[in-house]
């Protein structure tokens, strides 16, 4: 049975009352009046803005309903791509263009299926890598986490939109972010990893900016390389192999070991290997930390963003590592 998705219209649905500010109607009809939402509060406008940016492939990272730094980075990249005045603020021009390119309601109803609840799931994700090596898979910890990644939304916001919902019964209708089917993307011929801004940009053959992603780039233990590399491999559901020479904090093993595939694997659901051995662009088990914490020398995106990026690249695509000053040129 195929999942059933119904657009949430202007009429309230017969569900428990939401917090007034996060009713689907308030989010779907939110408009920009010139006032920027604050990061410390959930905002209908912020939810709608994040969804519109995500649909445009200028990712705000995890859709969490807050106007944070990753939203500002995405807005700056979107302005650059569309020849709009530069800056990281939401403007009437940006808002109008985002809405014109994606007019459908940003929230929808989704009916849970038996497949959504089937698993297998992890009882708990171990905190240490050594504890992961004995597991047969690094899958999601439950339907709620799986659904949140599928619809690019934080588990906290998913719960806010569905008060009292346990996400454990097939046939239940839940409110989710409405994401249209992915079209075949324009191939990227160059990626730019900004080590200071913590971002990844994908460019077309003609130099136009195709897509943008917030990223966690490098660490003190394993600094990210400089200069130009190339894409070497594109591997879905990779194994992770720990190399003890990197001496990652919290890992005591002096011998290499492998961790099985899964979205909660240390490199997530996708590995885009680079021409420098041991370095790549990959996913993560914790999308809320993307662009807000270090990566172990590599470039970490949300799982859904690295999956999108993987469809745009192939072996030989240039990957330029730049600093803030170089990126501004």
Choosing from 57, 152, 282, 296, the catalytic residue is 282
12 is catalytic: no
Number of H helices, E strands in the chain: 10, 14
- The contacts of residue 162 (CB under 8 Å, 6+ apart) are 15, 174, 175
Choosing from 57, 152, 296, 298, the catalytic residue is 298
Of 206, 181, 187, 201, nearest to 79 by C-alpha is 201
Residue 236 φ/ψ region, left for φ over 0, alpha for ψ in the -120 to 50 degree band, beta for the rest:
beta
282 is catalytic: yes
3-state helix, strand, coil in the chain (%, to 5): 25, 20, 55
Token digits for 315?
A: 């072996």
Cβ 213 vs Cβ 301: under 8 Å: yes
Q: How far is CA 49 from the centre of its chain?
A: 15
Query: CA distances (Å), 21 to each of 43, 160, 185, in order?
Result: 7, 10, 35
**DSSP secondary-structure letter at 247?**
-
Residues annotated as catalytic (active site), given as ranges: 282, 298
């Amino acid at each position: 049975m195929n999942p059933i998705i119904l657009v949430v219209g202007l009429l309230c649905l017969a569900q428990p009352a939401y917090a007034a500010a996060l009713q689907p109607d308030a989010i779907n009809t939110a408009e920009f009046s010139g006032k920027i939402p604050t990061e410390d509060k959930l905002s209908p406008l912020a939810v709608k803005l994040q969804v519109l940016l995500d649909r445009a492939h200028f990712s705000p990272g995890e859709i969490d309903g807050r106007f944070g730094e990753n939203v500002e980075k995405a807005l700056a990249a979107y302005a650059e791509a569309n020849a709009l005045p530069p800056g990281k603020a939401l403007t009437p021009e940006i808002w109008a263009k985002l809405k014109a390119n994606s007019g459908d309601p940003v929230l929808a109803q989704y009916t849970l299926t038996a497949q959504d609840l089937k698993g297998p799931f992890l009882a708990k994700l171990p905190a240490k890598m050594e504890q992961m090596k004995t597991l047969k898979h690094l899958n999601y910890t439950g339907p709620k986490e799986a659904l949140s990644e599928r619809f690019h939304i934080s588990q906290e916001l998913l719960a806010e939109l569905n008060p009292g919902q346990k996400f454990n019964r097939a046939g239940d209708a839940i409110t989710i972010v409405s994401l249209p089917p992915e079209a075949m993307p324009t191939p990227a011929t160059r990626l730019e990893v900004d080590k200071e801004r913590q971002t990844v940009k994908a460019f077309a053959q003609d130099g136009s900016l195709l897509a943008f992603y917030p990223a966690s780039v490098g660490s003190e233990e394993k600094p990210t390389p400089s200069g130009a590399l190339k894409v070497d491999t594109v591997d879905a559901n990779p194994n992770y192999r720990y190399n003890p020479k990197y001496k990652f904090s919290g890992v005591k093993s002096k011998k290499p070991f492998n961790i099985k595939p899964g979205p909660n694997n240390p490199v997530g659901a996708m590995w885009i290997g680079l021409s420098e051995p041991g370095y790549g662009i990959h996913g993560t088990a914790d999308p809320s930390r993307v662009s807000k914490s270090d990566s172990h020398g590599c470039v970490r995106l949300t799982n859904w963003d690295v999956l999108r990026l993987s469809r745009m690249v192939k072996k030989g695509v240039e990957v330029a590592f730049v600093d803030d000053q170089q990126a501004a040129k």
